[in-house]
Amino acid sequence: MAANPADARPVFKRPTVQELGFDPEVLRARYLAEREKRLRPDGNAQYREVTGDLERFIDDPYIETEIHRDPIVEEMEVLIVGGGFGGMLAAARLQESGVTNFRIVERGGDFGGTWYWNRYPGAQCDIESYIYLPLLEETGYMPKEKYSFAPEIFAHAQRIGRHFNLYERACFQTQIETSTWDEATARWQVRTDRGDHFKARFVIMCSGPLNRPKLPAIPGIESFQGHTFHTSRWDYDYTGGDSTGNLHKLGDKRVAIIGTGATGIQCVPAVGRYAKQLYVFQRTPSAIDERGNKPTDPEWAKSLTSGWQARRNHNFASILSGIPQEEDLVADRWTDLFKALGELLAIPTDSGLSAEDLALMAEIADFRKMNGIRDRVEKLVQNPAAAEALKPWYKQWCKRPTFNDDFLPTFNRPNVTLVDTGGAGVERVTAHGIVVNGVEYPVDCLIFATGFEVGTAYTRRAEFEVYGRDGQSLSAYWANGMRTYHGFLSHGFPNCFHMGLTQTGLAPNLTYMLNWQAIHISYIVSQVLGCGAQTVETTPEAEMEWVRTVRQPGMMSSYLKGCTPGYYNAEGKADRGEGFFEGHFPGGPVQFYDMLGAWREQGDMDGLAVK
Ligand code: NDP
């Protein structure tokens, strides 16, 4: 008789509560109870679009000189929508492939995108500067620190603009209103709020994934009589100072900050340092690990050899995709987190451990990590009630991990008060204050650190409509979810490419993915131009197959289902295709961009119709 394969399985001895030093049952129950407190029926509808009266929240406070110019009527090969790193990489890679007849249209007053808008004090990138800042070797720049602050990143965007002569091709302070395909001329007719009329053979949409600020629909927002703004439009005229701090005008002000996500935790320390009184309104605490920033070692910088940035980026993306690497070049908290996860994910093939045992091992590792995060709160925050409220009770990937050394100690200041809303959120805004649990906190200034739209319609976030063949709108075509081939092209919308998080390979380092997307799009554009064709478009079959591929549940799907709500899981409504992790290539970024490389290598434009 054949042996039962289960008999051959290694035995995983389940650790006891004494061995662990904590009780998993207790933690499971606590996580569930905290999630329940935060669940709400309205999901994404709890936020208000910044239109009508609220549109003032997205006015540009950074414009020094308003541009006055006549409308432009012009034909071009490529029109790039957006002057953030996506648009700039598209422009740089187009130039490299010999396409130089392009224009960039940008709503802001300069290049930079995210880093043009997000100038709040303390703004910093969580991803290592040596891989996040694009085109370092091309521009000959070396960041000053391992994690760059916003001014350095914005200055780098300007450097790229100068290096690639992009300023002469940019239309700033210009908002596109419509983009319409004209079959007769095989051109996109693009019209702007300045009366421009661009006729472009190709359009590349790089409007960004977290570009449109969102506000909570808290009753009474409009009635607030004090000063108010969103973190992505910081009002330095009001606060004084700049991104590096010195908010001296807040010395006699009572300030409220709503939101303790990645942005809130970065700006709270600076405001706490200067405001007469700061109230921080928290709904869910962030998990905050050490930052550990350090200056760039000049000797290390000198030792780098050609191609180092791409190698480092590939190494980081591989580790974060669970692909074992001999060396961890970035070696930071991100790679630590993923290496721990990767080790667990690697077990099944060799070990024969049951799926149940593996899930338990992963859960124990997760509990240990979060216990460490909670211990850190206790060490850094002196007031026991505040420390208790600042502890996150969820699994480590439920919300975006954050890294900061200044936020928690800010609550030791006598002028800073944490107002924990117990998962319910702010109750009401009055003419002069913020109400939580029936208590009104009087303030002069209300700052919304409440993030950006995720999961709303693509064209709403792009802020204009795209009309393809036969007048079909992209909003209608994507009404039941995006439909693309490889994330770039949609059937019925010839020559219109998308960049960003449109059914591609999502990577924690966004510039890594934008770079590969730019290389891919530039290849297709140069191929089409090179053979004298007019249009490139995906076939319906290729598009259908790709949509099927990206709608398979990814690694994060089941994990996020039991999570506390947030934009990662469509505010607790995972599986509706609206969460940040839904609808991407399920194999991860390295496999995705390798696959695109092989596709280019093959050279037959498989899945596309070139006419
Ligand atoms: P988030 O969406 O992450 O955070 C919004 C905050 O507002 C949350 O704390 C949320 O609470 C809170 N909130 C929303 N509604 C209410 C309400 N009614 N009452 C009280 N609080 C409320 O936005 P962020 O701007 O912080 O970050 C967005 C993303 O931008 C990040 O996740 C990250 O990807 C990126 N970013 C990256 C940085 C970097 O270093 N690379 C730095 C900053 C941002 P709740 O959690 O309960 O929903």
> Ligand 1 in contact with 451 (CB < 6 A)?
yes
The residue whose CA is least distant from atom 22 of ligand 1 is: 259
Find the 449 Cα to ligand 1 centroid distance in Å.
6
Distance 423 CA to ligand 1 centre (A): 14
Looking at residue 4, what is its pLDDT? Answer: 53
The finding on whether 569 has its CB within 6 A of some atom of ligand 1 is: no
| pLDDT in the model for residue 323 | 87
Cβ–ligand 1 distance for 208 under 6 Å, the answer no
**262 CB near ligand 1 (under 6 Å):** yes
Ligand 1 neighbour 500 (Cβ under 6 A) = no
Give the ligand 1 atom nearest the CA of 566.
Answer: 48
Nearest atom in ligand 1 to the alpha carbon of residue 262 is 26
Q: How far is the CA of 280 from the centre of ligand 1 (A)?
A: 13
CA distances from 109 to 196, 459, 553 (A): 17, 22, 40
Indicate if ligand 1 lies below 6 Å from the C-beta of 40. no
Give distance in angstroms: CA of 125 to centre of ligand 1: 14
CB 214 within 8 A of CB 57: no
Closest CA to 179 of 483, 518, 482, 471: 471
Nearest CA, atom 18, ligand 1: 425
Alpha helices in 391-539 (DSSP H): 458-462, 474-477, 510-530
Closest CA to 148 of 140, 156, 160, 159: 156
The residue type at 441: Y
Q: Cα(399) to centroid of ligand 1, in Å? A: 9
Give the chain's radius of gyration (CA, Å): 25
pLDDT of res. 13: 75
Q: Is the CB of 218 under 6 A from ligand 1?
A: yes
Per the CB < 8 A criterion, the answer to whether 436 and 430 are in contact is: no
Q: Ligand 1 pocket: which of 124, 400, 441 to mutate (most atoms <8 Å of CB)? A: 400
Which pLDDT belongs to residue 91? 98
- 79 contacts 203 by C-beta, under 8 angstroms: yes
Q: Beta partners for 228?
A: 446
The residue ranges of DSSP E strands in 142-272, in sequence order, are 170-171, 176-182, 187-192, 197-205, 215-216, 227-230, 254-258
CB distance 263 to ligand 1 below 6 Å: yes
Phi, psi of 54 (to 5 degrees): -85, -5
pTM: 0.95
pLDDT of residue 556: 75
In the chain, CATH 3.50.50.60 covers 73-111+166-212+455-610
What is the residue with the minimal CA distance to atom 10 of ligand 1? 259
DSSP string, 545-562: HHHHHHTS--TTHHHHHT
Distance in angstroms (rounded) separating the CA atoms of residues 51 and 56: 8
506 lines ligand 1 (CB under 6 A): no
pLDDT < 70 positions in the chain: 1-12, 340-352, 555, 574-577
Here the tokens at position 139 are 């521009």
Q: Which residues, in sequence order, are bridge partners of residue 535?
A: none
pLDDT at 589: 94
The predicted pLDDT at position 9 comes to 55
210, 234, 461: which to mutate for ligand 1, most atoms within 8 A of CB? 210
User: Domain 73-111+166-212+455-610 class?
Assistant: alpha beta
Whose C-alpha lies nearest to ligand 1, atom 6? 259
Q: Which among 115, 229, 283 is the best mutation to test ligand 1's pocket, defined by most ligand atoms within 8 Å of the CB?
A: 283
Ligand 1 mean position, distance from CA 151 (Å): 21
285 Cβ below 6 A of ligand 1: no
- Residue 414 confidence (pLDDT): 98
- First-to-last alpha carbon distance for the chain, in angstroms, is 64
Residue 322: partners with Cβ closer than 8 Å, 6 or more residues away: 338, 341, 342, 345, 346, 588
Please answer whether residues 133 and 143 qualify as being in contact, where contact means their C-beta atoms are separated by less than 8 angstroms.
yes
Q: Is the CB of 258 under 6 A from ligand 1?
A: yes
- The DSSP 8-state label assigned to residue 126 in this structure reads S
Q: Is 461 in the pocket of ligand 1 (CB under 6 A)?
A: no
